[in-house]
């Protein structure tokens, strides 16, 4: 049933040799540092496939993959699902640290003493500056010391640790912390920030070794993806559970893509990890993503901006790079820029039939909504759709909706109902359904059952949609048909990230709204499906959202002082954008921008590295 470790092969098209192979097969904890496109995510996916299929992670034990952002968690899960059969990938759990902490609290809440135990229906709150000032104002009489601190300081004090309810308070900070926690925990439902959830999860595993043992017994291996973005509190939870246990940890990251410094990401995290988990470190030296010209540019700029640059080698160096791989454009104003970008993409599409609109990404640091308003009409004028996938529909960004199992389930059924086979909709639908129904499709009887269930659903979808034009069917009808109340309960039980029914319902409504938007613009079901999959549109997103993704052509807009203000993260943000491109990158500047003094250092280095900036009239 298991593959012999010596006969294990990576997935087709993936070359795993040398250090990478050593990492895949490692029995000890390791940290892997590597530059962009070095295959860090792929390496974790291959290691998961290796551990699960060879029995190094034997059933019922599991792999726990923790990422620090929702997108990274989903990316990794998607890759493992693409590379392993469902009965294997089911033992791979990929979730954010927040979701993991919340799950720990939800499962073991009773282990907390009465002073710290929130009500079972607690809500997550996101206090902003005004909330802290309101707290200060309301309780100033009870605790005058509150007035000595500003909003940021109050947040730090409250989240430094769980409060002590016994013994004497030693300081004002202790008293402030205790007051906040008392007030929020005594609300019905209780109100907790995510940091409070993490602190409570730490308190549980510290106080109850049996809980810690249960978690460690579940997971033989732990992956930490995008580890450069971990904060001190998050890292504490990982230590509190896994330090000095047999769990084998694999942390991957790129210190040069650390763009969460503003959110408290820990510097020197890899050194700490080595110290606490005895983890040796490894470096990956190839860039599998970008062509030689782009890799050279990344190397040149790394040498210019960092004291400790690591040169990466282009794994594709024998392939030719396009002559126009790197260019800068300077436009008179934003209106001229919009027209030219639309024309550039339209011309590129007509010159290269292998490209689709979704191979182009427009990246900006900020204000993608404003950029969408500005560019969308100009793109529409030449027949190109632009999707701002960072736009929120209800509580979720479009790009997150697209990765949701609920959404994939709906889209796969629409695809089958309308004969679209690309992307294996049958497998997607059956795997999700098997998970929901608890069926093991490697067993013949369950395989047959899941097949019949899929067929039934396809018939229902055909009945609802086939004889009508897309804009005659609403998203609500599709959602109501396929995501019944019982099905919602199944999703809640199966996908732990769907934390409660309220969230799931908001998500289903968001899917419906997005369906309506796609249907309104398309004149065929194939067109709707293309839009639903984000295929027929050029992508517009923030650089933060582009992390972990890649595109044939990346156009970097608003490269000016509105978006770069000499923050500590500027250089890393710039590198993240640069390294998303496989074939071509464009830097687009407009003379009507506020100014270029903060980005001048990038512009100078780009020109020194051979990027030619044309004035476009």
Ligand X SMILES: Nc1ncnc2c1ncn2[C@@H]1O[C@H](COP(=O)(O)OP(=O)(O)OP(=O)(O)O)[C@@H](O)[C@H]1O
List the one residue from 93, 173, 229, 254 that touches ligand X (CB under 6 A).
Answer: 254
Tell me, rounded to whole angstroms, the distance of Cα 395 from its chain centroid.
16
Pick between residue 498 and residue 551 the one whose CB is nearest to ligand X. Answer: 551
Number of residues that bind ligand X (CB under 6 A): 18
Binding mask 511-530 for ligand X (x = CB under 6 A): --------------------
List the one residue from 42, 56, 300, 558 that touches ligand X (CB under 6 A).
Answer: 42
The answer to whether 39 contacts ligand X (rule: CB under 6 A) is yes
* Gap between the Cα atoms of 117 and 146, Å rounded: 25
Rounded least distance, CB 35 to ligand X, Å: 7
List the one residue from 14, 125, 207, 420 that touches ligand X (CB under 6 A).
Answer: 14
The region of 31-39, 357-365, 375-383, 407-415 touching ligand X under the rule CB under 6 A is 31-39
The region of 33-41, 322-330, 412-420, 561-569 touching ligand X under the rule CB under 6 A is 33-41
Q: Which residues lie closer than 8 Å to 126 by C-beta, 6 or more apart?
A: 193
Tell me, rounded to whole angstroms, the distance of Cα 503 from its chain centroid.
18
CB atoms within 10 A of CB 153: 13
Binding mask 557-596 for ligand X (x = CB under 6 A): ----------------------x-----------------
> What are the DSSP calls for 497-509, one per residue?
T---HHHHHHHHH
* Gap between the Cα atoms of 343 and 423, Å rounded: 30
Q: And the tokens for 38? A: 């070095």
Strand order in the sheet with 612-616: 385-388, 537-542, 360-364, 551-556, 581-590, 326-331, 612-616
Rounded least distance, CB 327 to ligand X, Å: 21
Pick between residue 82 and residue 369 the one whose CB is nearest to ligand X. Answer: 82
Q: And the tokens for 340? A: 């030219």
List the one residue from 24, 40, 432, 589 that touches ligand X (CB under 6 A).
Answer: 40
The strand pair at 396-397 and 392-393 is best described as: antiparallel
Is 485 known as a binding-site position? no
Rounded least distance, CB 165 to ligand X, Å: 44
The region of 36-44, 144-152, 491-499, 534-542 touching ligand X under the rule CB under 6 A is 36-44
DSSP collapsed to 3 states, 161-229? CCCCCCCCCCCHHHHHHHHHHHHHHHCCCCEECHHHHHHHHHHHHHHCHHHHHHHHHHEEEEEECCHHH
- Provide φ and ψ at 390, rounded to 5°: -85, -10
* Gap between the Cα atoms of 420 and 493, Å rounded: 30
* Gap between the Cα atoms of 524 and 610, Å rounded: 45
* Gap between the Cα atoms of 413 and 419, Å rounded: 10
Is 265 known as a binding-site position? no
- Provide φ and ψ at 293, rounded to 5°: -65, -40
* Gap between the Cα atoms of 401 and 408, Å rounded: 9
The region of 13-21, 184-192, 463-471, 585-593 touching ligand X under the rule CB under 6 A is 13-21
The region of 35-43, 177-185, 259-267, 592-600 touching ligand X under the rule CB under 6 A is 35-43
Pick between residue 195 and residue 226 the one whose CB is nearest to ligand X. Answer: 226
Rounded least distance, CB 582 to ligand X, Å: 8
List the one residue from 15, 120, 210, 466 that touches ligand X (CB under 6 A).
Answer: 15
Q: And the tokens for 606? A: 């780009």
Q: And the tokens for 215? A: 């978690």
DSSP annotation of 562 reads: T
Is 34 known as a binding-site position? yes
Rounded least distance, CB 394 to ligand X, Å: 28
- Please report, as residue ranges, which positions from 259 to 298 form the binding site for ligand X (by CB under 6 A): 288-289
Rounded least distance, CB 314 to ligand X, Å: 11
Kindly tell me the burial class for residue 528, based on how many C-beta atoms sit within 10 Å of its own C-beta (0-12, 13-18, 19 or more). Answer: buried
List the one residue from 38, 48, 158, 603 that touches ligand X (CB under 6 A).
Answer: 38
The region of 30-38, 182-190, 242-250, 291-299 touching ligand X under the rule CB under 6 A is 30-38
Pick between residue 211 and residue 571 the one whose CB is nearest to ligand X. Answer: 571
Kindly tell me the burial class for residue 263, based on how many C-beta atoms sit within 10 Å of its own C-beta (0-12, 13-18, 19 or more). Answer: exposed
Pick between residue 16 and residue 199 the one whose CB is nearest to ligand X. Answer: 16
Rounded least distance, CB 471 to ligand X, Å: 36
Q: And the tokens for 509? A: 């409504």
List the one residue from 37, 405, 425, 536 that touches ligand X (CB under 6 A).
Answer: 37
Pick between residue 20 and residue 433 the one whose CB is nearest to ligand X. Answer: 20
Rounded least distance, CB 354 to ligand X, Å: 16
Tell me, rounded to whole angstroms, the distance of Cα 426 from its chain centroid.
25
Rounded least distance, CB 44 to ligand X, Å: 8
The region of 29-37, 119-127, 261-269, 490-498 touching ligand X under the rule CB under 6 A is 29-37
* Gap between the Cα atoms of 588 and 334, Å rounded: 10
The answer to whether 548 contacts ligand X (rule: CB under 6 A) is yes
The answer to whether 41 contacts ligand X (rule: CB under 6 A) is yes
The region of 14-22, 139-147, 361-369, 402-410 touching ligand X under the rule CB under 6 A is 14-22
The region of 37-45, 187-195, 240-248, 301-309 touching ligand X under the rule CB under 6 A is 37-45
Cα angle value 71/75/79 (rounded, 5°) = 170
Rounded least distance, CB 75 to ligand X, Å: 8
CB-based contact 197:105 (threshold 8 Å):
yes
* Gap between the Cα atoms of 93 and 77, Å rounded: 7
> Which residue's Cβ lies closest to ligand X?
39
Q: At what angle do helices 525-532 and 405-417 cross, to 10 degrees?
A: 160
Pick between residue 37 and residue 479 the one whose CB is nearest to ligand X. Answer: 37
**Where on the chain is the footprint of ligand X (CB under 6 A)?**
14-16, 34, 36-42, 254, 257, 288-289, 548, 550, 579
Annotated binding site: 34-41
Binding residues for ATP: 34-41
């Amino acid at each position: 049933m298991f593959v012999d470790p010596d006969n294990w092969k990576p997935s087709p098209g993936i070359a795993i040799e040398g250090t990478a192979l050593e990492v895949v097969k490692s029995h000890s904890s390791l940290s892997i540092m590597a530059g962009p496109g070095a295959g860090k995510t792929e390496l974790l996916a291959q290691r998961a496939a290796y551990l699960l299929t060879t029995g190094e992670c034997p059933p019922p034990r599991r792999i726990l993959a923790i990422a620090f952002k929702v997108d990274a968690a989903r990316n990794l899960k998607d890759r493992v699902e693409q590379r392993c059969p469902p009965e294997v990938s089911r033992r791979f759990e990929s979730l954010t640290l927040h979701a993991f902490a919340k799950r720990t609290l939800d499962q073991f809440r009773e282990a907390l003493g009465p002073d710290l135990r929130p009500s079972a229906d607690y809500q997550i709150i996101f206090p902003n500056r005004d909330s802290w000032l309101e707290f200060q104002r309301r309780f100033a009489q009870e605790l005058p010391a509150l007035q000595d601190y500003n909003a940021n300081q109050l947040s730090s004090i409250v989240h430094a640790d769980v409060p002590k309810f016994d013994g004497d308070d030693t300081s004002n900070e202790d008293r402030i912390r205790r007051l906040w926690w008392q007030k929020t925990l005594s609300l019905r439902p209780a109100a907790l920030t995510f940091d409070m959830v993490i602190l409570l999860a730490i308190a549980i595993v510290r106080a109850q070794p049996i809980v810690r043992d249960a978690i460690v017994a579940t997971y033989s291996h732990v992956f930490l993806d995008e580890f450069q973005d971990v904060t001190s509190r998050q890292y504490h939870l990982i230590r509190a559970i896994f330090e000095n246990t047999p769990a084998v940890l694999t942390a991957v990251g790129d210190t040069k893509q650390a763009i969460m410094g503003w959110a408290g990401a820990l510097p020197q995290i890899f050194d700490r990890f080595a110290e606490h988990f005895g983890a040796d470190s490894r470096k990956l030296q190839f860039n599998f993503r970008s062509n030689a010209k782009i890799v050279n540019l990344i190397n040149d700029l790394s040498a210019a901006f960092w004291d400790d640059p690591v040169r990466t080698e282009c794994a594709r160096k024998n392939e030719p790079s396009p002559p126009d791989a790197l260019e800068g454009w300077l436009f008179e104003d934003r209106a001229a820029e919009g027209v030219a970008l639309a024309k550039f993409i339209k011309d590129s599409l007509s010159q290269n039939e292998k490209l689709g609109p979704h191979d182009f990404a427009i990246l900006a640091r900020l204000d993608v909504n404003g950029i969408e308003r500005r560019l969308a009409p100009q793109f529409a004028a030449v027949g190109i759709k632009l999707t701002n996938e960072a736009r929120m529909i209800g509580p979720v960004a479009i790009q997150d909706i697209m990765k949701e199992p609920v959404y994939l389930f709906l889209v796969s059924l629409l695809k089958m109902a309308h004969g679209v086979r690309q992307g294996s909709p049958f497998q997607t639908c059956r795997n999700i359904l098997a998970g929901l129904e608890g069926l093991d499709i490697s067993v013949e009887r369950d395989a047959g059952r899941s097949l019949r269930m899929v067929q039934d659903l396809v018939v229902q979808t055909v009945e609802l949609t086939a004889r009508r034009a897309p804009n005659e069917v609403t998203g609500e009808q599709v959602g109501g048909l396929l995501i019944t109340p019982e099905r919602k309960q199944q999703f809640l039980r199966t996908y732990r990230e769907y934390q409660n029914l309220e969230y799931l319902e908001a998500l289903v409504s968001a899917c419906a709204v997005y369906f309506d938007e796609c249907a309104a613009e398309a004149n065929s079901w194939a067109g709707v499906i293309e839009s639903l999959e984000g295929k027929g549109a050029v992508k517009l997103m923030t650089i933060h959202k582009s992390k972990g993704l890649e595109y044939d052509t990346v156009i970097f807009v608003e490269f000016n002082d509105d978006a770069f203000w000499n923050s500590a993260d500027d250089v890393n943000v710039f590198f993240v954008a640069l390294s998303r491109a496989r074939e071509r990158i464009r830097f687009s500047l407009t003379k009507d921008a506020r100014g270029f003094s903060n980005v001048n250092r990038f512009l100078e280095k780009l020109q020194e590295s051979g990027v030619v900036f044309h004035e476009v009239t």
